[in-house]
Structure 1
Amino acid sequence: MISQFELIGDNKVGVLPKQVDQLAMCREIALQKDTIENDSSFMLVDLDKIIQRYNLWKRELPMIEPFYAVKCNTDLVLIRILASLGCGFDCASREEIDIVMETGVAADRIIYANPCKTRSFIAHAMECDVRKMTFDNAEELIKIAKLHPNAEMILRIAVSDSTATCPLNLKFGADPVLHAPHLLKIAYEEGVKVVGISFHVGSGCNDASAYRTALQHAKNLCEIGEGLGFNMDIIDMGGGFPGADHHNNPFEKIAETIRDALDEFFPETEKRLIAEPGRFFAAGPFSLVANIIHATEVPASKITKNPNDSADHGYMYYINDGVYGSFNCILFDHAHPVGSPLFDVDRNEKFISTIWGPTCDSLDLVEDKKLMVKMNVGEWLYYPDMGAYTLAAATTFNGFSKPVPMYVMSEEMWESIKDSCHI
């Protein structure tokens, strides 16, 4: 049970006497909502888990400063806690820079990590004294030379894990052999200051060896830049770090590969090592609970598309969140959320089922051909690890509201951050 309420910014946080149990807490909230016939979906945010993820990062990669990728989830409580822990921030737009700086974060803790920036956004970054920026093309250098003479540019190279959930090298990054050395020469000729190399192996990395390859290219390019007179002080390892404990390429394995590669290519380095984790921090703390607003029995063949299943029973369920809301991660992040009944049920037989979102669009499909026990209208489904690329892109299409976040943390964790959380 919640023992007290505190404020982080303008947001109320429930403080518990012991460590948060996300499933148990979601059940408690759902029961309270049932008593007042409130069936709106909600997002439980376990703030303890943010701190635990930060501690894991510092244990496995203590030499690398995390700069949280704001695009992943712009929740202000998440940002304030990460700021209080000492994180920097990876921003990709004027709005993201403003979101972070309005929480009290200084400009030197921000990297404007978008290689193709709007001119007015560059001018805004100069006004805010945000200097660290990425580039991967000559045209960007020309813009920077005119609009932000104080900029400290970081050359982004294209090194990608082709098996990543979201490969990024098709849109961003200069070829590290064919094009990157030439860009360093152009920067020198234009009088633009280059301070390092960055890369992003792809969001949701599956092949840790991509980091080693990228660091090898970074070493070679640092030597070329230093030969031109640049102080190549920063290596930015981008993102790609998993946000869920059950990921098929554990964070600890990726961290081990990075440590080994740093020992090989940058032994005893004095360079500043940074990275841009997003889902690593954002995914796990957020659990979504949605209500079944409608249920209907159909022939199983309607779901399986197999006429031989026409004699079997299937069910279609409609919940009050979908791909235009929190489940936009299905479309934009190639995610495959898996839900389960929030409460234990005394029904054992499972049926082929489909979970639909609430809108009138047939694209609004959350889970298909799912084996699940029969559920009833008014019952709840629980979806863990729903903080990455979910709320950040959620809409109110068709008039359906976004789930309300509810924040909880333990007394122990509250005591550890309360004096530094800009309350």
Structure 2
Amino acid sequence: MPTTLVAEESQITNLNLMFGASGVECNELVTTLSSEATTFDIIQSIIKTKPTEIDSPFSVLDLRVVIDLMNKWTTNLPTVKPFYAVKCNPNISLLSALASLGSNFDCASLAEIKSVLSLGVSPERIIFANPCKMESHIKYAASVGVNVTTYDSVGEVEKIKRWHPNCELILRIKPEEETGAQFRLGLKYGAFLNEVPKLLKAANMAGLKVTGVAFHIGSMGANAQAYSGAILLAKTVFETASQLGMPKMKILDIGGGFSSGSKLDEASLIINDAIKSYFENEENLVVIGEPGTYFAETTFTLATKVIGKRVRGELKEYWIDDGIYGTLCMTLYDYFIVTCSTLKFGSKHENVTCKDTKTYPSTVFGPTCDSTDTVLKEYPLPELEMNDWLVFSNMGAYTTACATNFNGFSSSAKNIYIAYLS
């Protein structure tokens, strides 16, 4: 059995020392008084103790959550090595924490590879998981020793042969179903089963070694049962390569699409059973996954300040200093469930949470001059005043990573506070 990571005090201390010495991009390190302190407690403390110094909007990264998620991954998927999908949230503090906990990394570009390597991570812990890469990015990967990448076309084989002939290939295939997925990556990537022999032969003729198979069942709401069919399909590709007389494959990449809730329990049962059923006789098999949302979503909490107010009868309208062009971009999607709390630091009764007071249908706008920048519509909120705060949970996945500087406004990306145990 593999060693399970445990969220012990010594482990937190190691993370504290790492952040203290690494110069990660954050405003300061926030020490919680006890393990019982919540992220909400930390946000209140930051606002209360530094009312004139605090830059808003800001996010809090809770390292305790990162550790708990790694523990759960290791317990539920003991044979699957995590390769964190950097695109989901490239915050250097999160990458540092994951690196220290033993995670590997899924990078899709030169910039992402550079960011991970800057932390002292070995290039062997990186997969260049982009089936269509710029030539300059392939050259860079070759120069720094990132020697595993994905492909799904003959054209990509030609580029890799020319610019990175020592690179090992993983063939990206298209799962037969992406049931329920809000983001169906199969629309853009993956080879059909009838294309597999041609792609394997192309790599073999080019003198490139194909060491495995990758797939992605889609993100946000994908049916976990799809993993079983995709793993069976991958087994078929392993067999096809063997029939063509190619070297034995060793890597099974089951992609991403994992969530941090109870769905991981369901997915892990299906994945573990499928690996055992279809790859039981495969010696030295290496199984990897590419979790992004799983590690990022619940680890970040966003704090935004009320910068404007308008009352129209029962309807209350507020402006905050972050919006859909910034960290709150995910609120545009119907499937995103907004979890919003309030802090009355600008109201008469300072530092009062607003859980048991009367609520009103409220509209919340972002700071830009675009009327599309509307975060909430007719959302039940207590009456707020200028300099009160709205706090949004689960704001780590595809938030700051997708934010813009539209209209000159920045997201919370530059203002990250790290929560850890003292």
Q: TM-score when scaled to structure 1?
A: 0.87
Counterpart residue type for residue 353 of structure 1:
S
Higher mean displacement: 147-156 or 324-333: 324-333
Q: Residue 418 of structure 2 aligns with which residue?
A: 407
Q: Residue 252 of structure 1 aligns with which residue?
A: 265
Q: Residue 336 of structure 2 aligns with which residue?
A: 335
Q: For the residues of structure 1 that align with 2:287 and 2:278, how far apart are their CA atoms?
A: 13
1:161–1:205 Cα contact (<8 Å) kept: no
2:179–2:226 Cα contact (<8 Å) kept: no
Deviations 1:363-400 (A, max 9, x none): 11111221222222211111011111111222232222
Q: For the residues of structure 2 that align with 1:280 and 1:8, how far apart are their CA atoms?
A: 27
Q: Residue 325 of structure 1 aligns with which residue?
A: 326
Gaps of 5+ in 2: 1-12, 344-351
Q: For the residues of structure 2 that align with 1:7 and 1:393, how far apart are their CA atoms?
A: 28
Q: Residue 125 of structure 2 aligns with which residue?
A: 109
Deviations 1:301-330 (A, max 9, x none): xxxxxxxxxxxx111111110111101233
Q: Secondary structure at the match of 1:263?
A: helix
Counterpart mapping for 1:13-412 below 5 A: 13-19=29-35, 20-34=37-51, 36=52, 40-159=56-175, 160-175=177-192, 177-228=193-244, 229-243=246-260, 245=261, 250-267=263-280, 269=282, 270-299=284-313, 313-331=314-332, 335-342=336-343, 343-345=352-354, 348-403=357-412, 404-411=415-422
Deviations 1:1-56 (A, max 9, x none): xx99961511342333522411111122222244x385722111111111111111
CA RMSD of aligned residues (A): 2.1
1:10 aligns with 2:11: no
Q: For the residues of structure 1 that align with 2:174 and 2:167, how far apart are their CA atoms?
A: 22
Cα gap change, 1:393 to 1:333, in 2 (>3 Å) = farther
Q: For the residues of structure 2 that align with 1:339 and 1:268, how far apart are their CA atoms?
A: 49
Q: For the residues of structure 2 that align with 1:370 and 1:331, how far apart are their CA atoms?
A: 14
Q: Residue 420 of structure 1 aligns with which residue?
A: none
Deviations 1:236-268 (A, max 9, x none): 01100014x3xxx62111111111111111125
Counterpart residue type for residue 290 of structure 2:
E
Q: Secondary structure at the match of 2:199?
A: helix
Q: For the residues of structure 2 that align with 1:182 and 1:106, how far apart are their CA atoms?
A: 33
1:39–1:291 Cα contact (<8 Å) kept: no
Counterpart residue type for residue 280 of structure 2:
P
2:46–2:54 Cα contact (<8 Å) kept: no
Q: For the residues of structure 1 that align with 2:134 and 2:89, how far apart are their CA atoms?
A: 22
Q: For the residues of structure 1 that align with 2:332 and 2:122, how far apart are their CA atoms?
A: 34
Q: For the residues of structure 1 that align with 2:38 and 2:330, how far apart are their CA atoms?
A: 24
Cα gap change, 1:332 to 1:105, in 2 (>3 Å) = farther
Shift of 1:333: 10
Q: For the residues of structure 2 that align with 1:50 and 1:38, how far apart are their CA atoms?
A: 25
1:333–1:389 Cα contact (<8 Å) kept: no
Counterpart residue type for residue 394 of structure 1:
A
2:341–2:354 Cα contact (<8 Å) kept: no
Q: Secondary structure at the match of 1:200?
A: coil
Gaps of 5+ in 1: 300-312, 412-423
2:39–2:419 Cα contact (<8 Å) kept: no
Q: For the residues of structure 2 that align with 1:348 and 1:359, how far apart are their CA atoms?
A: 30
Q: Secondary structure at the match of 1:283?
A: helix
Q: For the residues of structure 1 that align with 2:234 and 2:263, how far apart are their CA atoms?
A: 24
1:293–1:377 Cα contact (<8 Å) kept: yes
Q: For the residues of structure 1 that align with 2:60 and 2:366, how far apart are their CA atoms?
A: 19
Q: Secondary structure at the match of 2:364?
A: strand
**Identical aligned residues as a percent:** 37
Cα gap change, 1:161 to 1:231, in 2 (>3 Å) = same
Q: For the residues of structure 1 that align with 2:162 and 2:54, how far apart are their CA atoms?
A: 56
Q: Residue 307 of structure 1 aligns with which residue?
A: none
Size of the aligned set, in residue pairs, is 390
Q: For the residues of structure 1 that align with 2:236 and 2:355, how far apart are their CA atoms?
A: 62
Q: For the residues of structure 2 that align with 1:378 and 1:353, how far apart are their CA atoms?
A: 17
Q: Secondary structure at the match of 1:169?
A: helix
Q: TM-score when scaled to structure 2?
A: 0.87
Q: Secondary structure at the match of 2:298?
A: coil
Q: For the residues of structure 1 that align with 2:125 and 2:247, how far apart are their CA atoms?
A: 22
Counterpart residue type for residue 357 of structure 1:
G
Counterpart residue type for residue 238 of structure 1:
G
Shift of 1:336: 4.2
Q: For the residues of structure 1 that align with 2:166 and 2:361, how far apart are their CA atoms?
A: 60
Deviations 1:320-347 (A, max 9, x none): 1011110123358963433121342386
